[in-house]
Amino acid sequence: MRLRDYLPYRLSVASNKASGLIARAYQARFGLTIWEWRVIAVLGEGAPLTAQAVCEATAMDKVTVSRAIRALDARRLVKRTPRPADKRASDVTLTPEGQAIYLEIAPMALHYEAALLEGFSEEERAQLTTLLDKLEARLAGLTAAGGDAP
């Protein structure tokens, strides 16, 4: 096996490099970590989410999400509202300050995405999306089966 040809490794390297592109911009300007930005990005879609829902939406682990939410709460970028039915869970939403940061960073993120995909035809972009969807579905199936490959 050659590591540089191993798909999980290549996906990880590509992901790290892509995340690093925009990370430098929002870290310098807003003092946010990658994990904090991901929480802001998923909350920026509008619906209140529990920490568990943030984990599911971002594929981040509970400890990372909890730390990010705590840090954002301390900076008053998110608000936690206890759920009446389950006092252990809270709905997390962006504060107006958090929403302002989201509205400023989101266009920057889309700009970096456009730069990343420059040189790809529309057909290649659609194909990439289809292939990533298919790969994510396969990963979900393997995860549900306990990670055992056939």
Q: Are 44 and 94 in contact (CB under 8 A)?
A: yes
Query: Could you tell me the CA-to-CA distances from 102 to 72, 109, 124, 149 in Å, in that order?
Result: 12, 10, 29, 39
State the average pLDDT for the chain: 92
Whose structure tokens read 């999306």? Answer: 129
In angstroms, rounded to a whole number, what is the distance separating the alpha carbons of residues 90 and 18? 31
What tokens were used for 31?
Answer: 């003092």
Closest by CA position to 31, among listed 84, 89, 72, 82: 72
Please tell me what DSSP assigns to residue 49.
B
Q: Domain ranges for the chain, please list them.
A: 3-143
Encode pLDDT of 28-82 as tens digits: 899 999 999 999 999 999 899 999 999 999 999 999 999 999 999 999 999 999 9
What tokens were used for 133?
Answer: 């969807």
The dihedral region occupied by 32, where left means phi > 0, alpha psi between -120 and 50, and beta the remainder, is: beta
Q: Compute how many other C-beta atoms are within 10 angstroms of the C-beta atom of residue 109.
A: 16
Predicted structure pTM score? 0.85
| Residue 150 clears pLDDT 60, i.e. is over it | no
Q: Which of 92-96, 109-113, 126-130 has the lowest mean pLDDT?
A: 109-113
* CATH architecture designation of domain 3-143: Orthogonal Bundle (1.10)
